[in-house]
Each structure stands twice: as C-alpha cells, then as structure tokens.
Amino acid sequence: MRVFVTGGTGHAGSHIIPDLLAAGHEVTGLARSEATATALSALGAKVRRGHVEDLDGLKEAAADSDGVVHVAFRRDVLLSGGLDALSAAELSAVFAYGEALSGTGKPLVWAGSIGSPANLGGSIASPGNLGRPATEEDPALPGGDEYKGSLRVRNVVESAVVGLAEQGVRSSVVRLPPIAHSTADREGFLPALIALAKEKGFVGYPGDGANLWHAVHIRDAASVFRLALEKGPAGRYWHAIEDGGIPFRDIAEAVGSRLGLPAVSVPADVLMLPGYFGSLAHLVTLDLPASNLITRRALGWEPVQPRLLADLDNGHYFPAG
C-alpha cells in the first residue's frame, strides 16, 4: 500500500513510519523543511515537500496514495490563533482529504484523543457521567456552544473525520492517551511532570490521586495506526491505550521513587493546583476510565512493549547526571 503520512517526524509519526515500512508498505512523508526531509529519508520514507496548510497539496497527495495517516498537529496555529483557529485549520484538512478520497473506499486514519468520548471529560471533582469506562463505541462530544475548550475542538474534528465514512472514505480515529512513552519521548507529559518535580522538590498529584489516567508505549500505538489503515472498518474509533487505567498517584509515586522525591497530594482547588501544575492544572484532574477491548478484538492488536510503570523503571526518563 502507498501511504501518505503527515507529522512523520513527530513522536508518533517517527514510529508509525518504520512500523508501516516493516509491514511492506511504501511511505511518503510530508516535509515542510530540509531538516524534516532529511529526517524522513533517514526513517526510510520518500519525501513530498509541502505543508499541511496547503490544502490543494494535501488533496493531491491523498489522491496519489492508497491511504493516509494524519498525525500532524498545528501547534503554530494554536499558539497564534487559539483553539477556534486550530479547529478551523484541522477541519479544513479533513474536508480536503474528504474531497480527494470521496467514493474511493481508501483509508484515512486520524490521530485523536482518549479524552473525547461522551462519558469522559470528568475530573476528580466532577466525574464522568456514565459511570463506566469509555469504549470505542462512544462517539465524540457534540460541537455545540455548550462545549468549551480543547475537548470541544478535538471532538468537532474527530466527528468530521468519522463522518467521512458516509462519503465512501474508510475513515477512522485512533484515540491516544495523555501519556505516550518511549525512549524518544522528549516533550510529552512525563518529561513535563519530571521537570516540575525537580523544580518544586516533590512530585504532585491532584487530591487523592485516584483519578485514572491512560498511557501507551508509542511503538504499540504505531501498530494501531497501521492495523486501522490495513483493515479497520469505516467510521470507527480505536483506543491505543493500556487497558483499565492507572491512578495518577501511582504515576507520581513511580516518578518520585526514581528521583528520590516524595509524592505529595496537591489540594484540588482553583488556588493550589495551578500553583503547582500551572497550565496543566485542569489536565491532571481528568478521570479517564477507558477500555481497549474492541480495538484488540477487531484489529487483532496486542500490545507487546513495556507498560508505563515498567518503562519508568527502565530509567531512560532519568538519565544519570
């Protein structure tokens, strides 16, 4: 299969491309710069010069391929224009792909968020309202004005991707957890949590720390994208997560044990949480129970890499010196 990949040099994309190549696919990655082109070539991918805001270029690349994996994230748009601008930019890309792939039955696999199902968005102060783990059958939240913030933006985009199934596109969304870990993780949540702990002198967790978080080794996540591309039905969501969930306190204690720092409860109120977590204050309170059962059964996915707490014990997040 000839696969077009965006975001191919990011944490997820740089593992998705080797996984696709190892399975015998031909991969072309989108490169905005010479440095990106060099990195894609080093991964073994062919290079297509361009950028994700060039919608005609996206349409042409999609039409020339047998399938698309889109994991690019418009951080530049988020920083310059905020969430509404990000939503508009990503929707434009979705519709461009839809125009190119409509009626072809070709796959489009999009990177989404585990925080998007309708029974999520709860927190330690206001739990999710269905009282059960989210499954792959839970749709994204509606995009109306009653939903604010980043979850609404992600859900509007995810709903649009899945909606392309009605136009003859084999579209699907791979929902990723807040923590995607690996030896290559440099800018994710774990490095941020570790940096905060070193700065503050302790590892904080919100309230009693019982709120459940999910993680996945990025190599295992990469195989979900490939399997969805190869055989995933149209209009589906997939959960690239460890099954069940991990109490946030367990994550904090594992980090603390490696750093030789105590794990300490931070009161979950509007004054204390931002004082420790800053812009991450809302994120850390989320309670995200979810299951990966449908993904494993439908796609034949079996995670084989170390789980989060085992990977923390490997020590690569805590280099000597």
Q: Residue 96 sits in a domain of what CATH number?
A: 3.40.50.720
Same domain, 124 and 205: no
Same domain, 207 and 264: yes
- 24 inside domain: yes
Same domain, 147 and 252: no
Place 183 in a pLDDT band, splitting at 50, 70 and 90. Answer: very high
- Expressed as residue numbers, the domain containing 106 is 2-179+215-244
Region of poorest pLDDT, from 129-133, 193-197, 296-300: 129-133
Same domain, 109 and 136: yes
Q: Is the pLDDT of residue 123 over 50?
A: no
Pinpoint the alpha helices (H) of the chain: 13-22, 34-43, 55-63, 75-101, 149-163, 189-200, 218-231, 248-259, 272-277, 281-285, 293-299, 308-314
Same domain, 284 and 141: no
Q: CB count, 10 Å around CB of 144?
A: 8
DSSP string computed for 167-180: GT-EEEEEEEPSEE
- 197 inside domain: yes
Same domain, 157 and 40: yes
Same domain, 172 and 259: no
Place 143 in a pLDDT band, splitting at 50, 70 and 90. Answer: very low
Same domain, 140 and 264: no
Question: Closest Cα partner for 87 from 96, 77, 79, 97?
Answer: 77
Place 320 in a pLDDT band, splitting at 50, 70 and 90. Answer: confident
Q: CB count, 10 Å around CB of 18?
A: 15
Same domain, 145 and 28: yes
Tell me which residue has tokens 């309230």. Answer: 207
pLDDT at 118: 41
Place 287 in a pLDDT band, splitting at 50, 70 and 90. Answer: confident
- 320 inside domain: no
List all residues 6 or more positions away from 144 whose beta carbon is below 8 Å from its beta carbon.
Answer: none
Q: How far is CA 72 from the centre of its chain?
A: 10
Amino acid identity of residue 314, one-letter, is: N
pLDDT at 152: 57
Higher pLDDT pick, 48 / 272 = 48
Mean pLDDT over each residue of the chain, to the nearest integer: 89
- 321 inside domain: no
- 109 inside domain: yes
How many residues are present in the chain? 321
- Summarize pLDDT for 202-234 with one digit per residue, the tens: 999 999 999 999 999 999 999 999 999 999 999
Higher pLDDT pick, 249 / 270 = 249
Number of folded domains that form the chain:
2
Give 3-state DSSP helix, strand, coil % of the chain, rounded to 5: 45, 20, 35
Same domain, 144 and 263: no
Q: Is the pLDDT of residue 321 over 90?
A: no
Same domain, 203 and 136: no
Same domain, 173 and 28: yes
- 288 inside domain: yes
pLDDT at 150: 52
